[in-house]
Structure 1
């Protein structure tokens, strides 16, 4: 009997002492059950932690997009290789999901988008870890997972930083997500803020292109007066991303190096009364140049009387 009472007190708090001999037995004091903080509470907490660490299978059609766009384009060859790998060996690494805050029965992907796409194409269930993450934690997890892979290009990271900044995240949060300091973030944003998004998307990830060459592209656009629309029109989508960037930059730089059209030159020979060449005259660039031999004194006379000759011309022409 004593053991029964002991267990009853453990579970419902009845073992708490009464406040006095005359206390009403039906008026139980409001207390926190001991198991909430004791051994049973620890077991309950451990179960929740195990659930958070356990891998479950989810229908990929129940998973929605979330976070910010990290990749500018998908490589078809890489995607095909991933599909074949999962087809042959199965999904080796789980994706990370969170419950969709707007539709509790659905999920949002935190990271593992490429795996999710491949598994959906194969018609399989996706192996996933589920975490309750707010938007800030989601962005941090996405950015840190991308940084750990070290396969996002400079412009993809810069575009990622720009989207976070535009969504209202502070520089420190952006730095934590990308695992870089504020100086590097400033360099990334210096490019993402001057290269139009539509042009970045048209060029793609450009793995071999760093900050200085992206800024060189912007400088070439400014110097040639080329708009984003004009630049996009110069891109051949059949080329690889690196080649698209190179071809565009070379095209714009060629415009800068294009020589100016030579001025139109008119020439004439002036003969004296005997039919001999007296002088040659050339007109170019709004100027006239006359060359004559300095002998016989006519050259001096012409120079001395040029003012009077000009006056006579104005009188005769009404100028």
Structure 2
């Protein structure tokens, strides 16, 4: 029978995130709701919760101290059938079957060395939701063996922050998986301060993650997949290409849904980028703006529903004002032309 879930690690994670808020009072470690684990694991020291402001490096250090204390606890052995994935998944579909097979072989030969972490299911008694360790859970399912797990009581907010703190130390999460997880935290109204602390990122990095996940739909990100070899710069380039003409995402999704779509998520990303570049070359038409005396004063580019005019440096200021004042007359001329064409075709 499973032991009562521990509160020590839970309280510490919650206090870590709360301590980042300058308007919060420190929480006393002897609070009645902060009970020790039933198997007499040493309680967290008061120093873990004493400070009111902590840097990201301090958060990481305290997270490691908590993990070290967990290593002295005896994990439960749970039937994989009573476990469910986290309600806030931090992984995209995994196409690395070779890596998963290696994990299965390792657990089969040497056992599960690192326990996973779960919480009691909030609405299904006797069941649990995984906080982190989904691949180890899948491997246990595949082998038909029990999975070693620490059972902790977490609410949704604590679960997300705990996942983020764990993810910060993992090398196998791709950039887009981390960005997608940051977006899910924001969707759950997690404070940006907690998001940055949990993922060990700064304002600039969070801003880039927001830009990519705002422009590229969740559906397209999931279609491409985790793309472990694709870093931030290339995802930003993809987002910028789609931002200039959002309607082009439909072309990309259609390309990736075809029978010839690559199995590798890295290759799917490359195909998505190539599709956008090909569409740009096909739909973009640039002409030189020449005077009657063949003096080049700029260029005009036509792409999809947009027109971009770039002026030569010497003509930029006067031409900008000239075109601004001429636009109403140009619109009237266009309207007259449309009316004339209708009457001719009438």
Question: Please, what TM-score do these two structures have when normalized by structure 2?
Answer: 0.58
Conserved in 1, the CA contact under 8 Å of 2:175 and 2:228? yes
2: CA distance between counterparts of 1:222 and 1:213? 14
Alignment match, 1:179: 200
Relative distance call for 1:198 and 1:260 in structure 2 (3 A) is: closer
2: CA distance between counterparts of 1:246 and 1:156? 17
| Distance apart, 1:191 and its partner CA | 0.7
Alignment match, 1:288: none
- Structure 2 gap segments, 5+ residues each: 1-29, 43-69, 286-346
Alignment match, 2:16: none
- Structure 1 gap segments, 5+ residues each: 1-36, 38-43, 262-319
Alignment match, 1:81: 102
2: CA distance between counterparts of 1:102 and 1:134? 12
2:150 to 129, 140, 143: 129
CA RMSD after TM alignment: 2.5
Alignment match, 1:212: 233
Conserved in 2, the CA contact under 8 Å of 1:224 and 1:252? no
**Which of structures 1 and 2 has the larger relative contact order (alpha carbons within 8 angstroms, sep 6+)?**
2
Question: Please, what TM-score do these two structures have when normalized by structure 1?
Answer: 0.63
Relative distance call for 1:220 and 1:90 in structure 2 (3 A) is: same
Q: How many residues align?
A: 219
| Distance apart, 1:225 and its partner CA | 5.9
| Distance apart, 1:160 and its partner CA | 0.3
Alignment match, 2:83: 63
Measured against aligned partners, the alpha-carbon deviations of 1:201-224 in whole angstroms (never above 9, x if no partner) come to 111112232333223223333556
| Distance apart, 1:255 and its partner CA | 2.6
Conserved in 2, the CA contact under 8 Å of 1:67 and 1:139? no
1: CA distance between counterparts of 2:135 and 2:79? 15
2: CA distance between counterparts of 1:222 and 1:163? 21
2: CA distance between counterparts of 1:154 and 1:59? 32
Alignment match, 1:96: 117
| Distance apart, 1:46 and its partner CA | 7.0
